[in-house]
A and B are shown apart, each in its own frame.
Chain A
Amino acid sequence: MVNNIALLTDVPILNVQLLLDGLLIGAIFALAAYGLALVWGVMNVKNLAQGDLVIMGGYIAWYLSELGVHPILGLPIAIVLMFAFGWVVYFLIIRYVIERDLFTSLLATFGLALVIQQLLNLAFGPEVQITESGFAIRSMFEGMVTMADIKFIALCLAAVLATIIVTFMKYSRMGQAIRATAQDPRAAKVMGIDTGRVYAFTFALNSAICGAAGVLISMIWIIQPFFGMSHSIRSFVIVTAAGLGNLPGVIIAGLGLGVAEQYAGFVLGAELQQFSVVALLVAVLVVRQIVQGRRRQAVQ
């Protein structure tokens, strides 16, 4: 461990590699976390299946690329499919959970996560997969830093998607209805907003966002049916650290998590990378508790 830290100070260029990788993957974490913040903020549903929706999107892209569709063309297809999937899941499960206590949504979405990961396992097998995008890998600083073009493209796509979502939320009728419902569902209902439809749309939108994040992750990283839980935990870390309805916070926390994870993996060793993510979750919760001090949060 100490050797690894010494290595980082002796060869500072390694930091560039870690930072770069961390920021690029962190942007995608932030995208998925924004979806969680949306569902949490609007419908008060804590979605433990978030990561599994991400992995599902990744598998759609992977399957399409096996059929010969380039993953960047697969992205819109995955978004549409995942949107439809989210809509169906809403009507089957989520709509019964909204009015219930917080624990119900955690457990019900956990059951959903179990079903999704097992169906993916049955359909595609437990092997680790990666979607080939066929872009070049370039090296910088005399080969000390490698950078795949696809990572940069993924970052741009994530930024474009985020811009589209933010614009949509701000200016479209549906986006305004979603924000109104988040503020006060009863008042929104009185004003003639069909809140049921808003909830359905919100969950479907979250599912589509996750799907898009999954496509990007399958291109620059790896996917496997059982990786969903760690992506869910990442989303929870980011949202808990940033708070709800705080887009800049989500982006910063997402990038920070990406970088922190890369450094933890390098310094502590790959076998503790998963641990560092979960430990970060506990740490964030504890810090949040200390920051709130003695101010009691009412049990909702």
Chain B
Amino acid sequence: MNLQYQGKRISGVLAVVPRNEVKFDDEVQNYNFSVKQSMKLKKIMGYDKHRIVTEGTRVSDLAIFGLKYLLDEGLIKRDELDALVLMTQTPDYLMPPTSNVIQGKLDLKPNMVCLDVKQGCAGYLVGLMQAFSLLEQDAINKVVLVNGDVLSRKTSPQDRNTFPLIGDGAAVTIVEKDPEKDSQIFANIRMDGSHRNALIIPAGGLKMPSTPDTAVMVMDEEGNSRSLDHWFMDGMAVFNFVVNEVPPMIKSLMDFAGTGLEAVEYFMFHQPNKFMLQRLADKMGVSYDKMPYNIVEHFGNSSGATIPTNMAFNLGDKLLDNSYLTCLAGFGVGLTASSMLMGIGPLDFCQMIEY
């Protein structure tokens, strides 16, 4: 589905990463694989270090820390925030929305919209779409988009398919009306609910509430152990989905926008791992310097927060003074794939802080 927006822009990006850094090399003994196999995995996937929250840290903690920093530094003001959109798969509660928790703890004004949306690796794209839609209203001029997940808390440390790639983190993106009212943003999105089981936490919802039974660790035929309370990934299904869906989706986006890949200055894609991103770049014929793929290596894959983390880590100050025609893409749980073409920058802020 093609979507189009005008007169909206991103004005600031702040990534929040937990201070606690864990090395892949120190976790090799947790996995039921030979050291040789794990070192091969490290090399191919680009694993090295990842950021994991300490016990008990919630997504609201990361979000409040980031927003409080922006408020304290004078980079945003309480009374100008008309909506708070939180994209997460790891909310504090089933009810109320975690966005209301954040609003209440920060004393944000009551005259605003708070919204939780459950999305994963395409969460930055879906969140921007939500923000753009809210900004259609005369009463809404500035939206805070928060992408955050603490997926390590739902990941088995003995699952070599998932634990090495995971990173916790959050990102705050300010989305607002663009004084350049004609600025165009092009996007597309596809959903494939027939593959909803390819990325899933089986227990903990109302279909299968968490019990002592769902917490029992079970080893699969390959030697990975996890419980039904843990996150599961069918890596092959996700890989096939991404390499088959994303390149034609980007081609279709370029056609829709009436431009070509050569006009794009940066491809800021979701960061699943180095292997998949290099494969995508090769398949699309895009050079690696235009498509950074080092976020998993340094921080881990923080789901919907990887794109703004990528912007803060790899572009940072460059986005304070420049504007780049940027192609965003997110793909994952759902399964969902989405892409967007927009000018990004100059931003009021683009940086990273540690929680």
The reply to whether chain A is a binding partner of chain B is no
Mark A residues whose CB is within 8 Å of B.
none
